[in-house]
Structure 1
């Protein structure tokens, strides 16, 4: 199946897995407009996957259901998400649009956030970003760290399809954390080139994120040393390292 991302709003991405007939699994359509525009070129949604309740990820669902009333909508068990036809939770295995997905419960950004893994791709919403991670709006640092550790354990080649194009700004922070990481420098250079050409930096891969993303590298000596400098003492564990990284990022300006 062909993987593509439809830009929405300022930096959202509506991911689509499209088969040879144009039938598409649509992920997190916060805005229906790019999906409806693609439909004029032959795209036909076959299922919708929703990772969490934020409006910029679910707001387009009513318009899509107006156009395709029988469209199945898979979503976490959260009353803030209307229009779901099937609720999903951790370790569920679903079939959507002819593709099998494993569901992972990944709280931290929100309390009910899930991710979908299928067709060699990870649809992770706002939990994992390339070179970054989501803010802790409802969860704890321990929850988010555990969620990211689960995602980092996926196969190296898994394509990371996150909900926003944040990679360039995330790279600036990652370089502040690990200025001597050669893999990160290579990724940052690639990101600058892609953005200068008006291209997306996504999908990334799990292998790339493990090598470059500081939020997946809380056990790396260089990351722990940087956090120790900020804290004034060695972090007690990886969760404390992660928590301070997230606080640092929340106030970071490049």
Structure 2
């Protein structure tokens, strides 16, 4: 059994340090992107909710502009987005290749998706609670913090978990054009060099990261639900 394993996974065993580095690169891209896109997505999602028709800060022109922008960016396939904003990426970080450079298109690709998820999560908040807060004289900022974010927290965590899983998939796709991480390992080593075992190991590593993210997300949802 051991001999079979060593034979079939010979390539993977010979590049263990490279596999570990790829895992850390993937976690780095996911972590930094989740932090930046998470903040921007929550802010954008809140703005979409409060500026829509009947919102506490109704502004139809702003809402329509942001709505069209979110829809437009969500419609662009990520692999095309990578090439489309390459000049902007080089302007920001000096290169369009590597893990740090990949964070720029990952953020651009994640924010529209996440903001829409946040918007939907906040729309689940009971309108009666919002109206009650307005009747009590709460300011729009207080309603956002004490009503929308507080009452919608479990839903926000749930959609955040879904977004992170989607983000992990995007990092693998970014790896196909030299962004590093497990996606790059699977393509550059596993596919291009016909080292199937490397592709399998990279895939299993991605699946483990996804499952851990899902478990953490489910735990947080249970802890914040009331």
Query: What's the TM-score once normalised by structure 2's chain length?
Result: 0.25
| Larger fraction in strand | 1
From the CA coordinates, give the structure whose radius of gyration is larger.
2
Query: What's the TM-score once normalised by structure 1's chain length?
Result: 0.23
| Larger fraction in helix | 2
